[in-house]
Amino acid sequence: MEEGTPSTLPTASGCDNEPVIILAATPIGNLGDASRRLVEALGNAQVIASEDTRTTIHLMRALGVENRPRLISLHEHNEVEKAAEIVELAREQDVLVLTDAGMPAISDPGFPLVAAAAAAGVTVTALPGPSAVLMALAVSGLPTDRFTFEGFLPRKGRVGYFSALKREPRTMVFFESPNRLPAALADLATALGPERRAVVCRELTKLHEEVKRGTAAELAAYFADGARGEICIVVEGAPEIEGDLEGGVGQVLALMEQGIRLKEASTEVAEATGLSRRELYETVLARRKPSAP
């Protein structure tokens, strides 16, 4: 045993005797990404709550883990109901929580359990590891200093969904299913413009890993016939606009001359220019007030 390498998994509080809920990241594709801490936790676990118990059994066998813990199914359809049971178990013994791939609670089961544990005063810790979100962001070639993870794209209304993010300045990361990818990319080009830069990351860490960069229009054309595998889409944030307040005020006044109310006119110009709706509204309002005699 190497110095400083514990034989048992430490808790978040540093007290080995305090039972905890342990969120454990599992490989997103390549089995070699399983950490030593994950293998140790699987070997020591008495209770494992997992998204698919069959996947967990397969993972343990593939990693050479011979432990036979109690397995509890924890998936999107039962996680709210199961949360209370698992929290109570965690008052007496550690509970290891796994999803099929990646980190629990990140677009996977786990959040209701963590929330319930926090409310009940039960400690939650995590074993860090593979993350499709961070890997896609890192290899995208798009800015990484600020980003937002938006989860899975909606099945319907994607143009409106993307349109609401048109002025988002941060790099955006999305999950999408391979069969909906062509339509999603077409909607992305429609809502954010065909020249918005984006990256499609497919089958990350696996044999047929692909990172395809281009404009929204180029990617929509490239994947028009579909794709296979797990998909992450990384999208460039909106460019910063140095808005011309005077010009914006002029646009608001022009719209008002057409019969559009100040509030609606300010909102329309703000969305088009990136200027502050409130600043436009208050500036125009102040100028329209009658001067004191």
pLDDT of residue 290: 63
- Element spanning 185, H or E: helix 181-192
pLDDT of residue 272: 79
Beta strands (DSSP E) in the chain are 21-24, 47-50, 70-73, 95-98, 124-127, 147-152, 171-176, 197-202, 210-215, 231-235
Task: Sort residue 216 into left (φ over 0), alpha (ψ -120 to 50) or beta.
Answer: alpha
pLDDT of residue 129: 95
CATH (one of 3.40.1110.10, 3.60.21.10, 3.40.1010.10, 3.40.640.10) for 21-130:
3.40.1010.10
4 class by beta-carbon count within 10 Å (0-12 exposed, 13-18 middle, 19+ buried): exposed
Residue 195 CB coordination number (10 Å): 11
**Among candidate residues 131, 93, 121, the one with its CA nearest the CA of residue 72:** 93
pTM (two decimals): 0.78
Q: Does domain 133-235 have CATH number 3.30.950.10?
A: yes
pLDDT of residue 245: 84
C-alpha 34/C-alpha 235 separation (Å) is 29
pLDDT of residue 288: 79
- Residue position matching structure tokens 């319930």: 116
pLDDT tens track, the chain, 293 positions: 344 444 444 444 444 578 999 999 999 999 999 999 999 999 999 999 999 999 999 999 999 999 999 999 999 999 999 999 999 999 999 999 999 999 999 999 999 999 999 999 999 999 999 999 999 999 999 999 999 999 999 999 999 999 999 889 999 999 999 999 999 999 999 999 999 999 999 999 999 999 999 999 999 999 999 999 999 999 999 887 656 788 889 889 989 999 999 999 999 888 877 788 999 999 998 887 765 55
The alpha carbon of residue 139 and the mean position of all alpha carbons in its chain are separated, in whole angstroms, by 16
**Among candidate residues 139, 170, 293, 165, the one with its CA nearest the CA of residue 236:** 170
